[in-house]
Structure 1
Amino acid sequence: MASIFTLPELPYDYTVLEPFIDSQTMHLHHKMHHNAYVTKLNDAKPGTDDIIAIQRSAAKASPVVRNNGGGHYNHSLFWTWMAKPGSSNPHPTGALKAKIDESFGSLDEMKKKFNEAAATRFGSGWAWLGVKSDGKLAITSTANQDNPLMTGLSETEMIPILGIDVWEHAYYLKYQNRRPEYIAQWWNVVNWDNVVHYYDEYASKGQAVPINARKP
């Protein structure tokens, strides 16, 4: 089974996240890094075209399937978690807003915990906001291209609805070693419309978010 996974087109131009995420980083991140994950995952012939199933069984998979399957899933959603500044709601709404207030006290407190998880992730990895099996929200971080869907590989297993890439290739051209600055500026491009959509339509119902699930 070959070439079953493809590099998704971005829902915006490489330049639209400026000045918070520079266009050169976006081009390299998408066309080079993400594309490499897709190519290597196809070359590994994982035996299924179900990218969510690959996440769920990652602990039992070969390193190449685990790493590149995670890289493809994580990045496919990462692009949809961002949008041109001012083009989406500047904050969560509806049931997700209420859940954030219930779980963390406020959006600001949620961001504080999220930022801490992202800033203190040693080496390369991700920080996540997600929904646990009991329906509660939580924040965690994972190493490399792991994510909270990967049974046995995440400190907190949950369905991710928002995540930030803190690999150096995601920010180093603009922010160098100033990861906390990158994390703080990243909130300016968060697409809350998609995050709310992923919560309402999938995670709140116990379903993992498909990679093609962004809000129309």
Structure 2
Amino acid sequence: MHKREFLKVASLAGLAAMADPKGLFAAENKKALLAEKAPFTLPALSYATDALEPYIDKMTMEIHHDKHHAAYVKNLNDALKGSPLEGLELEQILAKVTAKEAAIRNNGGGHYNHSLFWTLLGAQKTTPSAKLSAAINASFGSFEAFQTKFNDAAKTQFGSGWAWLIVKKDGKLAVINTPNQDNPLMTELVKETGKPILALDVWEHAYYLKYQNKRPDYVAAFWNVINWNEVEKLYDAAKK
């Protein structure tokens, strides 16, 4: 690339970053992730690893993203080689994977779940919009009732897993939890499926450095770093 071309590309990239300083292109990134085909890649964070402190510490973010998530990506690419699922988009893989394909199930779920999780976190304090609040109230009675239900799903998930807020086929919201790296897109594996719009990782590696065995404290801290703007974008996309 010539120097002039390089400077032009760098300038455009800088303008894009200035126009979207808080990673509000996350919904578009998620669409790209679902349409991505192997070999899959580790998505970059849209914020610094210390941006979520004091709620999620820098070292946890570095290990969680750079080590754990990177391992899921590598293992997924390896597991797909020669598989009937090789060459499919990630969403197609998740919809088709079965219990017999354990490596693809675990690592495909791990890649998707974490890629989504990073976009749902943000350093800037946000709150649910009136539209999203109305949907939550319609499904759960109140935001407080929803929060309690979500917290219970996260705290009572035995061992490793995830808590989810999903949009079901009928358009209503529901809270579920899943073990390990399963997620609501795995129609062959999960009892209650839907489009995930909020997710919380309750594997110990997500919180143990800071919270040790106090998962409820980690769950409570999570509410301080939710990117509700991104949740609403996912809700709008799921309702279409």
Please indicate, yes or no, whether the TM-score normalized by the shorter chain is above 0.5. yes
Deviations 1:98-148 (A, max 9, x none): 110101111111110000000000000000000011111000000000001
Q: TM-score of the superposition, structure 2-length normalised?
A: 0.80
In structure 2, what is the Cα distance between the partners aligned to 1:126 and 1:39?
21
Instruction: Indicate the residue corresponding to 2:171 in structure 1.
Output: 135
1:210 alignment partner in structure 2: none
Which residue is 1:13 aligned to? 48
**TM-score, normalised with respect to structure 1:** 0.89
Identity of aligned residues (%): 55
1:101 to 129, 137, 141: 137
Mark the structure with the bigger radius of gyration.
2
User: Using the alignment, how far apart are the partners of 2:165 and 2:137 within structure 1?
Assistant: 14
Q: Give the Cα separation in 2 of the matches to 1:61 and 1:54.
A: 13
* 2:180 pairs with 1:144: yes
1:30 partner letter: H
**Distance of aligned partners of 1:102 and 1:22 in 2 relative to their CA distance in 1, 3 Å threshold:** same
- Residue 16 of structure 1 aligns to a residue whose secondary structure is coil
Give me the whole-angstrom Cα distance separating, in 2, the residues matched to 1:161 and 1:98: 15
Give unmatched runs, 5+ long, in structure 2. Answer: 1-36
Of stretches 35-44 and 92-101 in structure 1, the one that deviates more from structure 2 is: 92-101
Corresponding residue of 2:203: 167
The answer for the alignment partner of 1:92 in structure 2 is 128
Task: Say which of 63, 74, 86 aligns to 1:28.
Answer: 63
C-alpha displacement at 1:155, in angstroms? 3.0
- The answer to whether residue 119 in structure 2 is matched with residue 80 in structure 1 is yes
The Cα of 1:164 is off from its aligned counterpart by 0.1
Give the paired residue count: 200
Question: Structure 1, unaligned stretches of length 5 or more?
Answer: 206-216
Quickly say closer, same or farther: Cα 1:49–1:31, change in 2 above 3 A.
Answer: farther
**Cα distance between partner residues in 2 of 1:42 and 1:18:** 32
Please give the per-residue CA displacement for 1:168-207, whole angstroms capped at 9, x wherever unaligned. 000000000000110001110000000001111x2112xx
Deviates more, 1:17-26 or 1:56-65: 56-65
Where does residue 108 of structure 2 map in the other structure? 69
Q: Secondary structure at 2:183's aligned position in 1?
A: coil
Q: Which whole-Å CA distance do the structure 2 matches of 1:155 and 1:97 have between them?
A: 26
